[in-house]
């Protein structure tokens, strides 16, 4: 009987530890997360996004290296272009601009594709810009001021030709 109680207690401790690990957040590509890329990555596969009446072509940073490199070392970005980062799980996101000479604006987006926050990112700034919300599942970077110029605000839902962001990215990874 003691063994069963001990096994039960150990199982509860292991389950609790796994749950705590899931909720831990780690910034994407922060200076403390290890190696920093040394050159720009080539153009990534793109997807068309609709934000209200506005459309843009977003490169998809879907691997850890693509996420870590992001827009680093790039010197231009077309007006209606950007980069989307589907995160591995909902989290308190953090992005930074080390080695990125372009000033950008980032939308922090929930699992349903709703923009919860919009943050200005300053060129070559190594400070992490954290989300206030704990459930960010996507981040969309565009030229600084793009959201304002296109009257895109928090609450806007982002869609693709395949439907919602969840339908697009979850379906494509299965």
Asked if residues 58 and 46 have their Cβ atoms less than 8 Å apart, the reply is yes
- Gap between the Cα atoms of 129 and 74, Å rounded: 20
Q: Is the pLDDT of residue 174 over 70?
A: no
Q: What mean pLDDT comes out for the span 53-74?
A: 94
Asked if residues 102 and 50 have their Cβ atoms less than 8 Å apart, the reply is no
- Gap between the Cα atoms of 154 and 116, Å rounded: 5
Domain map (residue ranges) of the chain: 31-173
What pLDDT was estimated at residue 29?
44
Question: Which CATH architecture best describes the domain 31-173?
Answer: Sandwich (2.60)
Give SS3 for 69.
Answer: helix
pLDDT tier for residue 128 given thresholds of 50, 70 and 90: very high
Which element (helix H / strand E) includes 55? strand 54-60
Sign for the CA dihedral angle at 152, 121, 68, 75 comes to positive
């Amino acid at each position: 009987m003691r063994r069963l109680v001990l096994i039960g207690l150990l199982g509860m401790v292991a389950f609790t530890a796994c749950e705590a690990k899931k909720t831990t957040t780690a910034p994407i590509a922060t200076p403390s997360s290890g190696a920093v890329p040394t050159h720009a990555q080539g153009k990534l596969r793109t997807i068309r996004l609709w934000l209200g009446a506005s459309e843009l072509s977003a490169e998809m940073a879907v691997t850890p290296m693509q996420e870590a490199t992001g827009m680093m070392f790039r010197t231009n970005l077309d007006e209606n272009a950007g980069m989307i980062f589907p995160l591995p799980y909902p989290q308190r996101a953090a992005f930074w601009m080390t080695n990125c000479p372009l000033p950008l604006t980032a939308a922090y987006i929930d699992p349903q594709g709703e923009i919860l926050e919009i943050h200005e990112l300053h060129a070559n700034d190594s400070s992490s810009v954290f989300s206030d919300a704990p459930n960010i599942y996507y981040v969309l970077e565009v030229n600084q001021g793009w959201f304002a110029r296109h009257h895109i605000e928090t609450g806007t839902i982002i869609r693709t030709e395949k439907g919602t962001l969840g339908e697009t990215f979850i379906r494509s990874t299965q």
